[in-house]
Amino acid sequence: MALPALAGAGALSAGAPSARALSARALSARASAQAATSNQRARTGRPRLRRPITIQWVGDMALSTQRGLPPGGLARALSPVRTLLGHAQITAGNLEGTLSVGGTSKCGGIGGEDCFAFQAPPSVAPELRSLGFDLVNQANNHSMDYGASGRRQTLAALRKAGVAQTGLPGEITILHVAGEPVAFLGFAPYSYDASLLDIPAAQALVRHARQEAPIVVVIIHAGAEGAGQLHTPAGAQYYLGEDRGNVRAFAHAVIQAGASIVLGSGPHVIRGVERYGGRLIAYSLSNFVGYHTLADEGVLSESAILRVRLGAGGRVISGRWIPIRLMQGLPRPDPSNASAKLVARLSREDFPDGHFAIRPNGRF
């Protein structure tokens, strides 16, 4: 679903998603003021969901001008999945890299071996919008690939195109759908993002968001990477000398603080889906766009679009895991349903006491 340009929530058309980002301090003050006057919140202190919301999520999207962009542009390259992307009220994904020009790469170039830097032109932002993306996560290890300038240009390009973003330190982004506020927060194990390593601070931010919206969506970018990382570890995980976080502990903690759902990316492979406290945690959806940037051999080619319909309190009314396979780094519907079968198996193995029964056709 396309977003109108972000010109302030009051200026946007009714029924279309609108977006705004507020600091935790501003949210706290606003929530206190609203609690005193809102009949809806008077009984619980928290806003209530009046009607179900459908959200969908895809994994990592990385493009590079220097490595080569998809012929004809991103919108044309993703045309086989355009219809699927439009079948939700909010569609979100993880944007790896910057939408910028110029600047200095963190790798001293496009990188290789253990350092990679991704920079695509700002013109990608309106293509994301045209494909149906309402929000992208910027809390990841590539959002500062071209320094502060690259990030500023990325945020400006997204804002101009009407694509919301989340993931900066202390950031809570609110989208409005048919009058229902939905809060998005992104976390990663880096100082330039909202920190996934400081669990108490993350819980506090989630509590602020829950005072503002009845549905709180937490996005995480964490974990080791590669074909051998299908299973969700118990405990902290390190990769390339970095503490990539304890994803289970973090996801459980933010659910306890009021998050409705947790959506993950980072390992570049599918990981299992956990049912925790009646809420859904999808630890990784692998890659969604990796043209000339991300490996797509074997299990690394398996991907998905996760579509979830949420009711009051974040209860999962229904869900669908839509299997996708990357071909030359571009997403294509997969009639073999390979990733649905894979995620069902991983969910059973990693979360035997709490998982969703995902059928071979991806429905649950």
Handedness of CA 132, 135, 140, 144 (dihedral sign): positive
Taking the alpha carbons at both ends of the chain, their separation in whole angstroms is 23
* pLDDT tens-digit readout, 304-359: 999 999 999 899 999 999 999 999 999 999 999 999 999 999 999 999 999 999 99
* pLDDT tens-digit readout, 262-293: 999 999 999 999 999 999 999 999 999 999 99
Confidence band of 131 (pLDDT split at 50, 70, 90)? very high
Inform me whether the pLDDT recorded for 24 exceeds 50: no
Show the tokens assigned to 146. Answer: 């071209």
- Confidence at residue 2, expressed as pLDDT on a 0 to 100 scale: 34
Average pLDDT over residues 85-90: 97
Angle at 210 between CA 51 and CA 287, to 5 degrees: 80
The mean pLDDT value of the chain amounts to: 90
Domain architecture of the chain: domains with CATH: 19-37+57-101+117-350 (3.60.21.10)
Nearest to 321 by CA among 355, 277, 294: 355
Q: What is the pTM of this model?
A: 0.90
Inform me whether the pLDDT recorded for 185 exceeds 50: yes
Handedness of CA 53, 270, 289, 244 (dihedral sign): positive
- Confidence at residue 46, expressed as pLDDT on a 0 to 100 scale: 87
- Confidence at residue 21, expressed as pLDDT on a 0 to 100 scale: 57
3-state secondary structure of 168: coil
> How many angstroms separate the CA atoms of 358 and 320, rounded?
8
- DSSP class of residue 138 equals -
* pLDDT tens-digit readout, 248-262: 999 999 999 999 999
Nearest to 205 by CA among 222, 218, 221, 188: 218
Show the tokens assigned to 112. Answer: 């290789």
Which residues lie below 8 Å from residue 100, measured CB to CB, with a gap of 6+?
119, 121, 122, 146, 149, 150, 151, 153, 154, 157
